[in-house]
Structure 1
Amino acid sequence: MDHRESINTDPGVTTGAEGRCQRWRNQSGFWLLGLCNNFAYVVMLSAAHDILKQQESHNATVTTPGHLDSNSRNGSNSSRYDCNPTSTAAVLLADILPTLLIKLTAPFFIHKMPYGFRILVCVATATTSFLVVSFSSTVWMSILGVIFASVSSGLGEISFLSLTVYFSSDVLSGWGSGTGGAGVAGAVLYSAFTQAGLSPRVTLLIMLIVPAVMIISYFLLLVFPPSFPQWRSGSGLSSEQDFQERRPLITDDNDEGSVPDEKRRDNCAGNTFSFLTEDQRTGSLTFSDKLHILKGLLKYIVPLSVVYFAEYFINQGLLELLYFPASRLSHAEQYRWYQTLYQIGVFISRTSLYCVKTRRIWVLSFLQCVNAVVLLFSVYYQFWPSVWVVFVIVLYEGLLGGAAYVNIFYLIRVETGEREREFAMAAASVGDSIGIALSAAPAIPIHNYFCSL
């Protein structure tokens, strides 16, 4: 076994049939945790939109149907683009801000909250989001429900990414694949239930099974190491021990005298890889230590932000404008297929970590930016002959985004020392949320510009 895959596991239970069973349980557990963590967020976006539409129709009883139709089609009547007056990026911005706030702040204090308690908070907020949106009677209640889903997703992501450091590295592949599957499963199941005649309220109440699956996956399926801090803080060193056992957070490969004997060369990354004892690994990091780690993480956070900036600029600013009237598919059907193919691409590439890994993260970021530029020009000049060309590009877009996500976190895992790895996995997750939030800034005015032509 690769030495990088034996992090904090008991060698006595990782061999033979028992070891294979343990690995299967952990991989399956993280796959389900990834699915459940992102599922509520994905479903909330669609459900809140449906309920908001119902509330708007109820609040519009004083307006004649003819006036309603005029307002709803105003954007397309005065523009060569069939688009809504308000960009979907406006909704996206409201959805991503709670997650962004959590990812920016929580890594600095979340270690004081035991993992078991964090998972219960994620389950409680996800359950609350389903209940609030399903029984909402006003716009602000629907938005509040989406905020609860965003909090659950953000807290869950930083917690589960940090949790992977206690297991073998293949659980990261399970987590990535599960999060990719959430987009496909959430969209397909919600559409299937509503198309079958169930109301959005009943559909959301059925989805309450998802938080229950999260509890089962975490508390019953995962096989935790004996020393795992389930209901206590992970910081277990006294100040004197911490001082004696500390290692440099980033070691210069050229400084031969500073590399301890237990340091080994990481064959994949070409960097030193630290193996610390349990007490050393759980030693508390100071605020300055964390800032120093963040500085080193910029080489991962920046390309992750660029990838997500480009793809959400495409998804929320451009795809609605890529409408092909000659197609047999309606505008709504074309847009629905755009989103579905994107999620399929994300799922495939996030699952690919099992067999394919790459260090060329900046290449993925560059290619995603090329996609954004090409689709921006295609919106303006409308030179594509068929919607099928855009379908292929959107699938390719999802493949690039998912590959960047899982490979960045894999590289963080193998290139950081054990003592800082748990914080690094949580802190780097802010990259995608920053990119998503920033994408709304150009997406909204560009959408409005095209709709005004």
Structure 2
Amino acid sequence: MSSEKWRNLIGFWFLGLCNNFAYVIMLSAAHDILKDQEDKDHHDNHNNTTTPSPSNGTYLECNEISTGAILLADILPTLVIKLTAPFFILHMSYKVRVLACVLFSLASFIVVSYSTGIWMSIVGVVCASISGGLGETTYFAFSSFFEKNVISAYSSGTGGAGIFGALSYAGLTSVGLSPRKTLLVMTIVPGLMFISFFFVIKKPRSFYHKEYIVKYNEDSSSLLTETEDADDKVKKVHLTLRDKLHLLKPLMKYMVPLCVVYIAEYFINQGLYELLYFNDIWLSEKEQYRWYQVDYQLGVFISRSSVNVFKINKLWTLPVLQCANVVILTAQVFLRFIPNIWIVFALVLFEGLLGGAAFVNTFYKISEDIEAEFKEFSLAAATIADSFGISLAGVISIPTHNHICSLNLKM
């Protein structure tokens, strides 16, 4: 493999890592963000809760606000960007988009670190969401100028963001660094994103000649105009809004399974994780939540890095299995029939494997199946599926969490 290909694979891996890092950190820190702010509010207002005290391990202990609230702040701006960006953002410079991603990512860590209230924390989370959503549509579209293996490299990097993000947060806080100082350490990540795009990746000639020819003849069935470059023939296409909407229909067979997987997956992550803790074991409640995140992200990293070794063509099998995980772990919250936390860790790992597999196999199949001239738009548009699923999961997980907590379940 040439040095240029290695540079591109490494560059895309780091783009995936950096783009998802802030998102992962915010979800890993969600429990701490809410707990810290609620403790401050209780101290300032001298309020007494009416929920029975869990200090003796008798009742289920819950944050007053579900971590699903952080999930919604972390995903709704992303969803808005993904719903709209493929229809206009492809005409914007990639350099401008990447710089915006870098600045919003940097702002997210700084704002949350210095926040003085829940809503300021959520503003920081929204910055992370904007960076991640803009970045994902940008980098998947950007990948259309390279060989398809950069998609597996990017996907592996997003999985790496999960495991390294969750692990670094859990590790640094476990050794005594405060959540706020830990977030400040993470400000090096946006810098890595900048370096990866502008200095590591070697852009192909077709990227520099990306100028869509606006000579669309409505009386012609062909959208394509071919031009001869010095070395190769570059197909350029101008898509109208109608053309783009028409292209969404064949993408549904990829997007629907991915969406369902993410609904189930993030319902578990943000609706159930903080309710799955065990009393009187070697990990505290907070530590259990953090290490569930690490365990889940390990599964995501493994599966997102595996598409060149193990491809899954029947995408519909993944949502079926993920929904089975929802049933089992929801039953655990109510029935407490699983005797050991290691069994829950195994289920959480399997959940991550399914989620990562759905993500990478979906986009890899799109890169294989969709015609080259429509690939840039299709890859950007398909990113809507996971964010839509995550948003629905957040909407579902908040009332579910609150209802379960209101039951005062005995442990």
C-alpha deviation, 1:237, in angstroms: 4.3
Matched, 1:27 2:6: no
User: Could you tell me how far 1:220 is from its partner in structure 2?
Assistant: 1.1
Contact 1:102 1:154 in 2 (8 A): yes
The equivalent of 2:275 in structure 1 is 321
Deviation at 1:387, TM superposition (A): 1.5
SS at match of 2:62: coil
The 8 Å contact of residues 66 and 270 in structure 2, kept in 1 or not, is answered as yes
Cα distance in 2 for partners of 1:195, 1:88 equals: 20
The match for 2:325 among 357, 371, 374 is 371
Query: Following superposition of structure 1 onto structure 2, how do residues 47-446 of structure 1 map, counting pairs within 5 Å?
Result: 47=29, 50=32, 53-64=35-46, 70=49, 80-229=59-208, 234-239=211-216, 243=220, 245-246=222-223, 277-278=233-234, 280=235, 282-325=236-279, 327-446=281-400
Q: CA deviation at 1:285?
A: 0.5
Unaligned runs of 5+ in 1: 1-18, 248-275
CA contact (8 A) 1:114 1:229 kept: no
- Cα distance per residue 1:175-216 (max 9 Å; x no partner): 011000101111222233334444444433332211111111
CA drift at 1:24: 0.9
In the TM superposition, residue 129 of structure 1 has moved relative to its aligned partner by: 1.7
If you compute each CA radius of gyration, which structure gives the higher value, 1 or 2?
1
Identity fraction in percent: 52
Q: Which residue number in structure 2 is paired with residue 270 of structure 1?
A: none
Contact 1:79 1:452 in 2 (8 A): no
Structure-2 change in CA distance of 1:237 and 1:309 (3 Å): same
**1:389-438: CA deviations, max 9, x gaps?**
11111101100110010000011111111111101001101111111111
Counterpart residue type for residue 223 of structure 2 = R
- What is the alpha-carbon distance in structure 2 between the residues aligned to residue 334 and residue 49 of structure 1? 11
Q: For 1:296, what is the secondary structure of its paired residue?
A: helix
Q: Greater shift after overlay, 28-37 or 443-452?
A: 443-452
User: 2: CA distance between counterparts of 1:84 and 1:205?
Assistant: 25
Shift of residue 325, structure 1, vs aligned partner: 2.4
- How far off its partner does 1:352 sit? 0.5
State how far apart, in whole Å, the 2-side matches of 1:334 and 1:131 are. Answer: 26
CA distance in 1: counterparts of 2:364 and 2:334, whole angstroms:
38
Note closer, same or farther for the CA distance 1:359–1:242 as it changes in structure 2 (3 Å cut). Answer: farther
> Cα gap change, 1:306/1:241 in structure 2, threshold over 3 Å: closer, same or farther?
closer
SS state of the match for residue 228, structure 1? helix
For 1:87, what is the secondary structure of its paired residue? Answer: coil
What letter is aligned with 2:112?
V
Distance 1:178 1:383, change over 3 A: same
CA distance in 2, matches of 1:56, 1:319: 19
Query: Which letter does structure 2 place at the counterpart of 1:126?
Result: S
Could you tell me how far apart the structure 2 residues matched to 1:412 and 1:137 are? 44
Shift in alpha-carbon separation, 1:433–1:195, aligned structure 2, 3 A: same
User: Does the aligned pair in 2 maintain the 1:193–1:203 contact within 8 Å?
Assistant: yes
Partner Cα separation in structure 2 for residue 85 and residue 241 of structure 1: 57
Distance 1:229 1:93, change over 3 A: same
Instruction: Please report how far the alpha carbon of residue 52 of structure 1 lies from its aligned counterpart in structure 2 after TM superposition.
Output: 5.5
Contact 1:75 1:452 in 2 (8 A): no
Asked if the contact 2:170–2:291 (Cα under 8 Å) also holds between the matched residues in 1, the reply is no
Separation of aligned partners in 1, 2:357 and 2:126: 27
Cα deviation, residue 76, structure 1:
8.1
Residues 63-85 of structure 1 show CA distances to partners (whole Å, capped at 9, x for unaligned) of 44xx55x4686588998423333
1:10 is matched with which residue?
A: none
The Cα RMSD (Å) is 2.6
- 1:358-391 alpha-carbon deviations (Å, 9 max, x no partner): 1111001111111111222232222212121111
Paired residue total: 400
Compared with structure 1, are the counterparts of its residues 204 and 359 closer, same or farther at alpha carbon in structure 2 (3 Å cutoff)?
Answer: same
TM-score (norm 2): 0.89
Structure 2 residue runs of 5 or longer lacking an equivalent are: 225-231
Say if 2:145 and 2:206, in contact at 8 Å, map to a contact too.
no
Residue 452 of structure 1 deviates from its aligned partner by 2.3
Structure 2 letter corresponding to 1:430: I
* Contact kept? 1:51, 1:142, Cα under 8 Å: yes
Structure 1 residue 49: Cα displacement = 5.6
Q: Tell me the residue number matched to 1:4.
A: none
One-letter code aligned to 2:338 = W
